[in-house]
Amino acid sequence: MATFVLGSGSTGRRMILKNAGLDFEVIHPRVDEDEIRAGFDAAAHEDPHATLAVELARAKALEVSTRTALPVLGADQLLVLEGRIFTKPRNMAEARRQLEALRGRTHRLVSALCVARQGEVEWIHVKHADMTMRPFSDAFLDWYLETAGEKVLSSVGGYQVEGPGIQLFERIEGDVFTIIGLPLLPFLDWLRGQGLIPA
């Protein structure tokens, strides 16, 4: 029997929760992320990237929480390089451009979680990981895009570290769950605190 709802269409997040032995349902949020980003005033916040990631996660959790009595986990992740926010590439050419921009540099992944229940926020958590790509060759980039294929379009930055995308990197500072987009240990702690899973 499900103990909570994942308010996300992410297969990576679903995999993390399923592999952890959790029982949950999935309801896709009806949220216009572009509209939230466009209306966000970065200058009004001390840490705008963390705040925006939280706002997006909050919007998803709250929207889905109006359609179920169970607690809803909303999540979002931003990729930030020197103040520029990257979104999922729309096509393979854009994926190539993103990877060329990230090559040989360090970017930050900001992952935010929000739990809401029937229109009320109950818990928020945000964590980041710093990712340094190696200065890979154009030949490697060709190989990577051909090997990874359309999967590169499902992740910001055009990579998934749980696949061949790990070969893009020379250094990673942060845990794998944050990188995939769901900092798992704090969420498990919240579930235990609520008595939703055994302590």
pLDDT of the residue at 9? 85
Q: Determine the Cα–Cα distance for residues 152 and 166; give it in Å rounded to an integer.
A: 12
Up-side HSE of residue 119: CA atoms within 13 Å toward CB?
Answer: 1
Compute CA distances 189 → 25, 87, 119, 193, whole Å. Answer: 19, 30, 22, 6
Question: Which residues have a Cβ under 8 Å from the Cβ of 59 and sit 6 or more positions away?
Answer: 29, 31, 33, 36, 74
Which is catalytic among the residues 23, 41, 47, 76? 76
**Residue 30, φ and ψ in degrees, nearest 5:** -105, 80
Question: Which residues have a Cβ under 8 Å from the Cβ of 117 and sit 6 or more positions away?
Answer: 65, 69, 70, 71, 72
Per-residue pLDDT tens digits of the chain, which is 199 residues long: 899 999 998 888 999 999 999 999 999 999 999 899 989 988 889 899 999 999 999 999 999 999 999 999 999 999 999 999 998 899 999 999 999 999 999 999 999 999 999 999 999 999 999 999 999 999 999 999 999 999 999 889 999 898 999 999 999 999 999 998 999 999 999 999 999 999 9
| Domain 4-193: assigned CATH number | 3.90.950.10
Q: Is 76 a catalytic residue?
A: yes
Q: Where are the domains of the chain?
A: 4-193
pLDDT of the residue at 195? 96
The three-class DSSP label of residue 26 is strand
Q: Which residue has the tokens 């995308």?
A: 165
Instruction: Report which secondary-structure segment, H or E, holds 37.
Output: helix 33-38
Evaluate if pTM is beyond 0.95.
no
pLDDT of the residue at 99? 98
